[in-house]
């Protein structure tokens, strides 16, 4: 039992002593999360169905023998690329209370290229591509509890979305609008006098509205509204700059 008490006291003392970054009026915050680029290439796909053992024979009707389709029979390329860039900043208007603004850009694209055999078998199938971009603006506030390093925050995110594909499906469509309320809590672990590592837990409620994207019981067009709630954990790096 004494060892447990000693461990608790040591932990509390450590928390108090490492939380030394500034939370005073006039201090600026620069926050960086997990941003970057991701590229995926599909190389194997089971269950694509039957495939002619002899494509030319199947086309001219002389050979109808079939085998299981391999990925390379149908696809030359199946790639998914993602870009996620974000930046956040804030300013302490009084000791412990900061107001800020976050900006995030997301982009995802899918590129599909078919083999010549597949195009011939299907009568000239076209390659496909799809892209979606999203720009998110997030004003918010954050409050630090004294010098403890613990903080809580709230922000309201507004997203503009743009979508495009090779079929021009969205040419006359109005893109969805998305908004989210985010409640977070975290702890600032000081790495030095100006930089802190922040483990974070949070909950967000997201609402996405697509104009005339749904139907009512009478088959009339109505707005499609989707609401989702999510709980998440993460970590960010914050730079504290004194004025």
| Span 172-225, pLDDT tens digits | 667 889 999 999 999 999 998 889 999 999 999 999 998 888 888 888 889 899
Tens digit of each residue's pLDDT (9 = 90 or more) over 64-121: 899 999 999 999 999 999 998 888 889 999 999 999 999 999 999 999 999 999 998 8
Tens digit of each residue's pLDDT (9 = 90 or more) over 31-73: 765 567 889 999 899 999 999 999 888 888 888 899 999 999 9
- 157: in domain: yes
| pTM of this structure | 0.71
Task: Report which secondary-structure segment, H or E, holds 13.
Answer: helix 2-18
- 226: in domain: yes
- 179: in domain: yes
Provide the 10 A C-beta neighbour count for residue 93: 12
Q: Could you tell me which residues are beta bridge partners of residue 181?
A: 156, 205
- 72: in domain: no
Under the phi-then-psi rule, with left for phi > 0, alpha for psi from -120 to 50, and beta for the rest, what region is 182? Answer: beta
Decide if 243 contacts 28 (C-beta within 8 A): yes
- 229: in domain: yes
- In 3D space, the residue among 98, 100, 92, 89 whose CA is nearest the CA of residue 26 turns out to be 92
Give the angle 156-197-3 at the CA atoms, nearest 5°.
120
Instruction: Please give the residue range of the domain that contains residue 180.
Output: 2-36+85-115+132-241
Q: How far is CA 137 from CA 98, 193, 221, 228, in A?
A: 17, 29, 30, 19
- 48: in domain: no
- CATH number, domain of 174, equals 2.40.160.20
Domain count of the fold of the chain: 1
- 79: in domain: no
> Which residues, 6 or more positions from 177, have their beta carbon under 8 angstroms from its beta carbon?
159, 160, 161, 208, 209, 210
Decide if 28 contacts 241 (C-beta within 8 A): yes
- 220: in domain: yes
User: Given this model, what pLDDT does residue 143 score?
Assistant: 95
Q: Where are the alpha helices (DSSP H) in 70-138?
A: 71-74, 116-121
């Amino acid at each position: 039992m004494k060892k447990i008490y000693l461990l608790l006291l040591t932990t509390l003392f450590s928390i108090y002593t490492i939380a030394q970054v500034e939370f005073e009026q006039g201090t600026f915050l620069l926050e960086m999360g997990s941003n970057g680029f991701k590229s995926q290439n599909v190389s194997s796909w089971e269950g694509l169905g039957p495939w002619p053992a002899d494509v030319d024979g199947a086309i001219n009707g002389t050979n109808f023998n079939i085998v299981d389709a391999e990925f390379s029979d149908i696809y030359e390329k199946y790639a998914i690329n993602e870009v996620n860039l974000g930046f956040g900043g804030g300013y302490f208007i009084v000791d412990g209370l900061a107001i800020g603004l976050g900006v995030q850009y997301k982009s995802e694209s899918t590129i599909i290229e078919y083999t010549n055999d597949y195009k011939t078998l299907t009568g000239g199938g076209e390659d496909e591509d799809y892209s979606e971009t999203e720009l998110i603006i997030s004003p918010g506030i954050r409050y630090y509890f004294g010098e403890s390093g613990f903080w809580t925050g709230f922000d309201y995110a507004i997203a503009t979305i743009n979508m495009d594909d090779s079929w021009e499906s969205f040419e006359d469509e109005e893109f969805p609008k998305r908004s989210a309320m985010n409640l977070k809590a975290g702890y600032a672990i000081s790495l030095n006098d100006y930089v802190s590592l922040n483990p974070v837990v949070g909950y967000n409620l997201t609402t996405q509205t697509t104009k005339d994207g749904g139907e009512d019981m009478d088959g009339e067009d109505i707005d499609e509204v989707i609401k989702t709630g999510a709980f998440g954990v993460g970590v960010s790096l914050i730079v504290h700059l004194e004025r």
